[in-house]
């Protein structure tokens, strides 16, 4: 496969920005052929589950440097590490509390581990169509309603850079003896700049934290890290899960990428680089707002979220238009368009974006879109069938208008961002079926007008 694609404004992931944001040590490796680094688990190198070798030493020393008790490098992405974390703290039949916007890999983990997801609803902004994060008061009510829970999965920050009151949420869970797993795929850099960015998941007291390093640390795709702190979880249980789920032939290049990105980001030079990137983010935000374009307020300067609904344009239409203008975003949604700045963003991103956005406004803008209907989802949802039972049951394909009162056999999960809006085993009431039809009208390429339902 040959890919020759360049863009003047590539505002999408990976965060290394097509090489400029790679850590220096990794750039040094790339002076040599990547094939020369395609090595097995030689004794002096080892691997993530070996007790000796360079990888073992790196994992332990990096955990200490980042404030964790233990750390493991991953080469199957944060997707795999989330599943490892989930299976390491649960047993078949356990109930797992998770937000409606948990990544789809958590559902796969529930199916693999024969777990029962308990879904809780989160705030929804009708003006943008974006999901938010629960307040401590809302989360406390959820915990009281949920009953006996083995662990809870939280998201920090969201894809769009929203960060809530994570410390308080974790404290509420810990008071009830519940283990907390935090999906911090988009927030690895939070640990490095605590004065400028929200508190990191490790600092907030989470038990297990997963970072996707190509999203928020300048590493290569598929590289991830799993941190463990406290004594609520045994490191042996983590390693058992890794043995089940992660490849027995990890890529040496990806392992080196994990170490290089974590080492550099935690260094003085890495901190200075991040500070410069944050300043570019702040300045770009000011440039765009000053030009009259609405941005959604978030907590991560490296995420610019354009409120296209306020311009009378869907995010999908805006993305199609801007891509032709060589301005490439990361995440189009019905009411917004999210741009991801790299770890070394162009200092003039804002001023370069404004004339292109002006062209977008001239050619496509109209009256602001109508408020998006609030998803008719209960505060707490338990599935009618277990996800593994629904996944394996006979199914048939029906139109959305015929889906009411049926049980979903498959996941309805637009990607990106990989957020399930309907789970296998979940009963589709009439209000939900109608809402899905409305969503299909906004997002026809992402949400089909047909759905798989269990044959009863």
The two domains 24-268 and 383-454 share their CATH topology (first three levels equal): no
Q: What is the pLDDT of residues 148-199, one digit of tens each?
A: 999 999 999 999 999 999 999 999 999 999 999 999 999 999 999 988 999 9
pLDDT at 235: 97
Query: CA angle, corner 157, sides to 156 and 158, nearest 5?
Result: 115
- The mean pLDDT of 107-113, rounded to a whole number, is 94
pLDDT at 1: 47
pLDDT at 443: 75
Whole-number Å distance between alpha carbons of 102 and 119: 9
Domain boundaries, the chain: 24-268, 383-454
Burial of 112 (0-12, 13-18, 19+ CB in 10 A): middle
Which CATH number applies to 383-454?
3.90.100.10
- The mean pLDDT of 207-235, rounded to a whole number, is 96
Which CATH number applies to 24-268?
3.40.640.10
Whole-number Å distance between alpha carbons of 85 and 210: 8
More confident position, 72 or 440: 72
DSSP state of 422: B
Residue 311's pLDDT band, with cuts at 50, 70 and 90, is: very high
What does the H/E/C string look like for 86-151? Answer: HHHCCCCCCEEEEECCCCHHHHHHHHHHCCEEEEECCCEECCCCEECCCCHHHHHHHHHHHCCCCE
- Pinpoint the alpha helices (H) of 176-314: 201-204, 213-216, 235-245, 252-265, 268-290
pLDDT at 342: 94
Q: What is the pLDDT of residues 65-74, one digit of tens each?
A: 999 999 999 9
């Amino acid at each position: 496969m040959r890919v020759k694609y360049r863009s003047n404004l590539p505002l999408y992931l990976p965060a290394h920005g097509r090489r400029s944001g790679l850590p220096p040590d990794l750039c040094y490796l790339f002076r040599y052929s990547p094939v020369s680094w395609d090595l097995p688990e030689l004794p002096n190198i080892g691997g993530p589950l070996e007790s000796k070798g360079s990888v073992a030493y790196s994992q332990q020393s990096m955990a200490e440097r980042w404030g964790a008790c233990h750390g493991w490098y991953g080469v199957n992405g944060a997707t795999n590490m989330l599943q490892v974390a989930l299976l390491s703290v649960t047993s078949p039949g356990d109930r797992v509390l998770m937000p409606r916007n948990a990544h789809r890999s958590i559902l796969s983990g529930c199916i693999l581990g024969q777990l029962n997801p308990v879904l809780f609803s989160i705030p929804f902004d009708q003006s943008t169509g974006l999901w938010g994060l629960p307040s401590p008061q809302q989360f406390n009510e959820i915990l009281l309603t949920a009953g006996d829970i083995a662990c809870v999965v939280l998201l920090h920050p969201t894809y769009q850079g929203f960060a809530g009151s994570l410390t308080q949420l974790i404290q509420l869970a810990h008071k009830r003896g519940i283990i907390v797993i935090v999906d911090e795929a988009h927030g690895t850099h939070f640990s490095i700049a605590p004065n400028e960015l929200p508190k990191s998941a490790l600092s907030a007291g989470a038990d297990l934290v997963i970072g996707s390093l190509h999203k928020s640390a300048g590493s290569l795709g598929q590289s991830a890290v799993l941190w463990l702190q406290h004594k609520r979880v045994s490191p042996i249980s983590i390693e058992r899960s890794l043995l089940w789920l992660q490849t027995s032939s990890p890529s040496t290049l990806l392992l080196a990428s994990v170490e290089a990105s974590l080492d550099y980001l935690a260094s003085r030079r890495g901190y200075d680089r991040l500070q410069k990137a944050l300043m570019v983010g702040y300045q770009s935000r000011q440039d765009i707002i000053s030009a009259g374009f609405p941005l959604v307020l978030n907590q991560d300067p490296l995420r610019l979220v354009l409120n296209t609904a306020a311009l009378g344009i869907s995010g999908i239409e805006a993305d199609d238009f801007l891509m032709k203008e060589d301005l490439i975003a990361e995440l189009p949604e019905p009411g917004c368009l999210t741009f991801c700045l790299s770890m070394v963003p162009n200092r003039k991103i804002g001023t370069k974006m404004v004339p292109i956005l002006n062209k977008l406004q001239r050619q496509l803008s109209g009256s602001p879109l109508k408020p998006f209907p609030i998803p008719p989802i209960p505060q707490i949802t338990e599935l009618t069938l277990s996800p593994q039972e629904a996944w394996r049951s006979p199914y048939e394909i029906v139109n959305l208008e015929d889906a009411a009162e049926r049980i979903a056999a498959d996941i309805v999960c637009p990607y990106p961002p990989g957020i399930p809006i309907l789970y296998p085993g979940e009963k589709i009431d009439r209000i939900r079926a109608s809402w899905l039809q409305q969503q299909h009208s906004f997002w026809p390429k992402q949400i089909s007008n047909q759905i798989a339902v269990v044959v009863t």
